[in-house]
Amino acid sequence: MGLIVQKFGGTSVGSAEKIQHAANRAIAEKQKGHDVVVVVSAMGKSTDALVNLAAEITSEPSKREMDMLLSTGEQVTISLLAMALQEKGYDAVSYTGWQAGVRTEAVHGNARITDIDITAIQAQLAEGRITVVAGFQGVTEDGGITTLGRGGSDTTAVALAAALGADKCDIYTDVPGVFTTDPRYVRSARKLAGISYDEMLELANLGAGVLHPRAVEFAKNYQVPLEVRSSTEHEAGTLIEEESSMEQNLIVRGIAFEDQITRVSVTGLTSGLTTLSTIFTALAKRNINVDIIIQTQADDGEADISFSVKTEDAAQTVAVLEEYKNALDYEKIETERKLAKVSIVGSGMVSNPGVAADMFAVLAEKNVQVKMVSTSEIKVSTVVSENDMVKAVEALHDAFELSKQPSAV
């Protein structure tokens, strides 16, 4: 007998039928004797419909009013899911974010949870009710409705699980778990039984997409065991916890990749100590995310800087650099588009210094030219030509034997 928090994303509650399925998942845990809290997103494309409504009124809606508008999406889902549970003979009650005590900072559109007052939910659980909570939303100290931004419902579920001291947080989604790499590109990609928070963070940041990095961070901070699993198939998903208890002998856990990367190179920089901060502060102000950064210093004191950005941000990046031409005093800017980032991730790398070398050897063998490199304790990222991306991922997936079931330690 424990407490389970379940989260169903938009595609998993996208129709009346899917809501019935979600209800059955909650009931299955209830029947095992657990207390159950269910966190849901807005139904399927309903958020898009609301965004389109706003677009008919104004091209620049205020963030406060967008939060007011969008938060109705989850409110619809919670009421329907509670109805479905009641129809099946189970006592259930729905709560909006503010009713559930989800308090956030006073920032609209991308608020962070500051605190959860679990009094109301605990009272409902004590009465034996399945409690259905609207994800993605909260309330400020002044009673304003906020939304949590991308991945918000994942974060709500994990934060509630942490606050309630849940035994587990199950993230139901339209994929059956976390894979060694994207199965749409690599057929031999295999679902992982387990993965650590840190590895999941690297994969999430690298665009694996099943779980938002904020939610993983939250889970890591509060040591909430997560399971990513299919909302349609009845099978085990991928368990995410502090140290993956399974497959510990694996050095590389997965391969992430992302196309539409542009490398920007600034050469012949003569300015001094503040060059880097000048460039990256200016880009941050325009909300341009810079990923890999490489600086080289020549003997004559001149420096070259290369960094990667998403291709959609490339034009604006160049414009910002040109604006700062005088302050930076560089020779020229060059850009190379149609690049991709390919990364290997695994906590086993920390104690295996040769992994990066192995990676480069595999890529060289396949005639894949590496244009940039970045490493962390559990990740090696390379930038390659977009045309080489899938070939590189397949070769690495094979070389690190990711399609094989790991042997027990």
Q: What is the binding site for a copy of itself (CB under 8 A)? A: 16, 19-20, 50, 53-54, 56-58, 60-62, 64-66, 68-69, 71-72, 75-76, 78-80, 82-84, 86-87, 93-94, 96, 98-99, 120, 143-145
Shortest Cβ 283–a copy of itself spacing (Å): 30
Q: Is the dihedral of CA 322, 327, 329, 330 positive or negative?
A: negative
Residue 156 marked ligand-binding: no
Residue 168 marked ligand-binding: no
Amino acid at 351: S
Residue 379 marked ligand-binding: no
Residue 72 marked ligand-binding: no
CA 103 to chain centre: 22
Asked if 397 and 188 count as a contact pair (C-beta separation under 8 A), the reply is yes
Q: d(Cα 306, Cα 277) in Å, to the nearest integer?
A: 14
C-beta closer to a copy of itself: residue 82 or 102: 82
H or E segment to which residue 289 belongs: none
C-beta closer to a copy of itself: residue 50 or 390: 50
CA dihedral of residues 14, 19, 21, 23 (deg, nearest 10): 150
Strands 145-147 and 3-8: unpaired
C-beta closer to a copy of itself: residue 87 or 401: 87
Shortest Cβ 86–a copy of itself spacing (Å): 6
Residue 311 marked ligand-binding: no
Residue 184 marked ligand-binding: yes
Shortest Cβ 73–a copy of itself spacing (Å): 8
The side-by-side arrangement of strands in the sheet containing 254-269 is 290-297, 303-310, 254-269, 332-345, 379-385, 372-376
Strands 35-40 and 102-104: unpaired
Q: Where are the beta strands (DSSP E) in 157-216?
A: 168-173, 194-196
CB atoms within 10 A of CB 156: 30
Shortest Cβ 30–a copy of itself spacing (Å): 18
**Length of the chain as a residue count:** 409
Strands 194-196 and 130-134: unpaired
Residue 174 marked ligand-binding: yes
C-beta closer to a copy of itself: residue 12 or 317: 12
Residue 74 marked ligand-binding: yes
Annotated binding site for substrate: 47, 74
Annotated binding site for ATP: 7-10, 173-174, 184
Annotated binding site: 7-10, 47, 74, 173-174, 184
